Structure 1
Amino acid sequence: MLLKIDALLDYAFPAPADVLLQVEAAAMPDQRLEAQSLVIESDHPIRAVAGEEGIGQRTWARAERRLVARYAATVRIERTPVQLEALPPTPVAALPAGAIPYLLPSRYCEADRFDHFVRTRFPGLAGGALATALAAWVEANVAYDGSVVNGGGALATFAERRGVCRDHAHLLVALARAGEIPARCVSAYAPGVDPPDFHAVAELWLDGAWRLVDATGMGNADDLARVAVGRDATDIAFMTVFGSARMMAQHVSVARIG
């Protein structure tokens, strides 16, 4: 699968501010960058730093009055689809060190609040079978509503039963952690997202590897290009402003070209 990605960020700033961007697709074994360009209009130097878990990179920029960033890339996805329901569970005591933090509650993924729900609603399920059931439950029971962002995290989404992609990802991650499956949030580019935008999905540790799952049902694991990973939206935001900003224009386009 070959994806063509174009993104534009245009923001106005009432006062100078530092800005942390995470918009570049990550170079990884299952996604190869064939071309990539990030152009930031700024009078100040920019600086790249490694992303969470060493995946992708963040870029520091200094904004005065206006910041315009243009990103373009061609990414080849080389990821074989996997039948999640067939993957066996991994006992928590046997997990690798890097997966253990993703079992724990975080700011927007209050996994400890879902233990009873997961145990009683999905009795007897574990591993890939539980992951498949949880993803299906979120997709069926949480409406995609672009007008709503539940800032309270997974618990708020569970109560509201609607939200945007990050809300779906937060809820699936929290439910998976409650079911003893390490789970993390992933920012990604995906074709077919409606409306087109930066996308958020989940990644679950199953049978010795991280497996991408889109609880909105809009993206498929074999055509997602990861940008960043982390505990929740705090770690994967496409732009973090240390100050205030006003959006002038924002555009994301992702197309399959081969």
Structure 2
Amino acid sequence: MILNIDVHLAYQLSQPTDLLLQIEAADLDDQTLLDSQIDFFDVPDFTRVPADEALGNRIWLKADGLFRCTYSARVQIARSAPDVRTLEAVPLHLLPGDTVRYLMPSRYCPSDEFQTFVAAEFGHLRGGAQIAAIRDWIYGAFSYVPGVSNAQTTALDSFVQRQGICRDFAHVLVTLARAATIPARFASVYAPGVTPPDFHAVAEVYLDGGWHLVDATGMSPAETIARIGVGADAASVAFLNIFGQADFVAQSVSVRAE
């Protein structure tokens, strides 16, 4: 599958402001960047730096006034997507060192507060079967409602409200997976079929010796997803961090499958 991605961002800045941008699809073994172009208007220079886990890049830049950015890319997805229910959990003492941080609570994913719930609801299952049951429970119990959450909403908030957007669904899945002692991280992605069209968020879980994409919203099968970046939660993979004041002007994200 080939994805055609087009993004437009516009923000009004009142003074010279540092920005950290992460919107470029990563070039990986299971997704090949065929073509890409990113353009900034009235930005003299910018610097790319590796993102978390060296998966993709971030861009540092300084802008003033009207900040505008356009990004377009063609990405070929060549990812096998096994049924997550068939995957085995890796014993904790055999986990690679770089996965251990994804067992721990993080800003938006207080997994230590959900261990009793997970043991009671999903403790009869193991590994991928447990992840599939958690995914299906979130899909059935939560409503996808834009506008009910914000940048401060945690997985605990979403768990209580039983509603949110992709970011919230991903945070809850990551949180419950960690509470089940399965490493899980937050992935910022592009995917077709997202309604309304926007940047998308899913979880990645570590099973059978590898990372596997899981979307609790049900909108994006793993074989249709292009990763942008990964991190402990949304705080690590924001598409734009603004180190100052800014007013939103416009944003559009289009992802079309060939």
Residues 1:84 and 2:84 are matched in the alignment = yes
Between the two proteins, the alignment pairs up a number of residues equal to 257
Deviation track 1:14-60 (CA, whole Å, cap 9, x = no partner) reads 22210100000000000000001111113431111001000000001
Shift of 1:84: 0.7
TM-score, length-scaled by structure 2:
0.98
The residue aligned with 1:94 is: 94
Contact 1:42–1:62, Cα closer than 8 Å, also in 2: no
- What is aligned with 2:164? 163
Q: Which runs of 5+ in 1 are unaligned?
A: none
Q: Once superposed, which parts of structure 1, at least 4 consecutive aligned residues long, lie more than 2 Å away?
A: none
Secondary structure of the equivalent of 2:118? helix
CA distance in 1, matches of 2:153, 2:224: 29
Q: Give 1:119's aligned residue.
A: 119
* One-letter amino acid of the structure 1 residue matched with residue 116 of structure 2: H
Could you tell me which residue of structure 2 aligns to residue 109 of structure 1?
109
TM-score, structure 1 as length reference: 0.98
Which residue pairs with 2:183 in the alignment? 182
Task: Give 1:115's aligned amino acid.
Answer: Q
C-alpha distance in 2, partners of 1:12/1:172?
35
Partner of 2:30: 30
Partner of 2:253: 252
* Offset, 1:129: 0.4
Residue 110 (structure 1) shift: 0.4
CA separation in 1, counterparts of 2:45 and 2:207? 41
Aligned 8 A contact 1:22 1:59 in 2:
yes
Deviation at 1:119, TM superposition (A): 0.1
Question: Residue 47 of structure 1 aligns with which residue?
Answer: 47
Deviation of the 1:94 alpha carbon: 1.0
The reply on whether 1:17 has 2:17 as its aligned counterpart is: yes
Q: Which blocks of at least 5 consecutive residues in structure 2 are unaligned?
A: none
Q: Structure 1 CA distance, aligned partners of 2:34 and 2:45?
A: 26
Aligned ranges 1:151-230 → 2 under 5 Å: 151-230=152-231
